[in-house]
Structures are given as C-alpha cells and as structure tokens.
C-alpha cells in the first residue's frame, strides 16, 4: 500500500512496488490525461512532475516515488506557470492530434518553473525529449515564449 500525493491530494493505492507510476495513474486512479507512448522513456508523452521535476512516469516505479509530490496534467493548471502555459497553448492553437500534448505542457511548465525566461536554446534543451509526430514544435516554442512573457 502506497500513499501518494497527487495534485495536492493524498491517494492510497494497493499495487506492487515495481508498478510504473503511469499504470497507477491511468488504471488505478483513472487519471487518464497522462498518455502511454513508447514505454521506454524516449517520447515524453507520459511526463508528470515528481518533486517539481519532469519525470517519465512509464519508467518511474511507484515504490521509488517516496514522499515526493506528483502533479499530472489534470492538476498542473492549478499552478501559476501551468495555468499560463495552458492559456498560451490555447491561444497559439498548439495541438494537432493532441496525443503528445499533455507531456509537452508538463515539460514546458517545468521549464518555466526553473527558468522564467528561456531562450530558444533553453527550450530546445528542455523539450528535446518530448516528441511530436505532427511537428507542432514551432507552435510549442512560440507558446512557451508567450507564456513566459505573460508571467513577467
């Protein structure tokens, strides 16, 4: 039995310690906004925040979460940068098919949390692990800059 703090709430789950956090979120807590992509931490769609850091939840065993707070796409809008990023995403109409976008928004928010005014190179370094098969990278970059500008 594990007690996780997810989006500010304590949630209890009765799963084995080696179950990936992504499974816990989707199958046990019905938080299905976080998607499954490659399963080997190479595409970024399953990104959530753990202890404030963007982490690929398909590779993070629930037993390794410890006391670190987990924020998912369902809860990130409640944070100041998360709200700004989501607003910027809507204004720039970033998504095309949308499958990778939860992960993109989580990585973008973590970037702004650590670096309020990223330049292009900063954005590339932080976002390179989040793939988008539709190629929305140009709009992702613009939206991150708009969100940063909105944050002042």
Partner 1 sequence: MKKIVGIVVALIVVVALGAAGWMYLGRNPMAFAGGSTVALQDYQASSVTGVPAQLAKADLVTRGEYLTHAADCQACHSAPGSAPFTGGFALTTPFGTIYSTNITPDKQTGIGNYTDAQFLAVMHRGIRADGEHLYPAMPYASYTYMTDGDVLAIKVYLFTLAPQHAPARKDQLSWPFNHRSLLTLWDVVFNPDTRFRPNTGESPQWNRGAYLAETMGHCGECHTPRNIAFALDNHSKFAGAVTAGWRAYNITSDRDSGIGGWSDQDLYQYLSTGHANGHGGAAGPMGEASDDSLSYLVPNDVHALVTYLRSVPAEKSDLPRTVTAPAPASYKQGVVAGFDPRGEKIFAGACASCHDWTGVSPVTGYATLTGVRAVNDPNATNVAQAVIHGVNRQTDAGKIFMPAFGQGLSDDDIAAVANYVTARFGAKGAHLTSQDVANLRKQAPQQSNSRETPNG
Q: 40 in helix, strand or coil? A: coil
Contact of 99 with 38, CB cutoff 8 Å: no
Q: Which is nearer to partner 1, 121 or 152 (CB)?
A: 121
Q: Give me the residues that bind partner 1 (CB under 8 A), please.
A: 17-18, 20, 22-23, 36, 38-42, 44, 47, 50-51, 53-56, 58-61, 63-64, 114-115, 121-122, 124-126, 128-129
CB of 14 to partner 1, least distance (A): 18
Q: Which is nearer to partner 1, 7 or 107 (CB)?
A: 107
Q: Taking the mean position of all CA atoms in its chain, how far away is CA 116?
A: 17
CB of 40 to partner 1, least distance (A): 4
Sheet holding 53-56, edge to edge: 9-13, 2-6, 70-71, 47-50, 53-56
Q: Which two tokens stand for residue 136?
A: 């929305």
Q: Which is nearer to partner 1, 87 or 137 (CB)?
A: 137
Q: Which is nearer to partner 1, 15 or 83 (CB)?
A: 15
Q: Which two tokens stand for residue 102?
A: 């939860």
């Amino acid at each position: 039995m594990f007690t996780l703090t997810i989006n500010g709430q304590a949630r209890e789950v009765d799963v084995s310690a080696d179950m990936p956090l992504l499974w816990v979120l989707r199958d046990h807590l019905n938080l299905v906004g976080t998607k499954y992509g490659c399963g080997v931490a190479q595409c970024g769609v399953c990104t959530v925040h753990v202890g404030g850091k963007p982490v690929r939840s398909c590779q993070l065993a629930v037993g390794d979460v410890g006391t670190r707070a987990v924020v998912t796409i369902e809860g990130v809008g409640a944070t100041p940068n998360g709200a700004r990023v989501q607003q910027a995403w809507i204004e720039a109409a970033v998504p095309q098919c949308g499958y990778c976008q939860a992960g993109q928004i989580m990585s973008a928010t973590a970037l702004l949390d650590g670096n309020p005014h990223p330049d292009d190179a900063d954005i590339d370094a932080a976002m390179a692990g989040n793939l988008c098969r539709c190629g929305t990278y140009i709009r992702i970059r613009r939206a991150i800059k708009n969100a940063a500008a909105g944050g002042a």
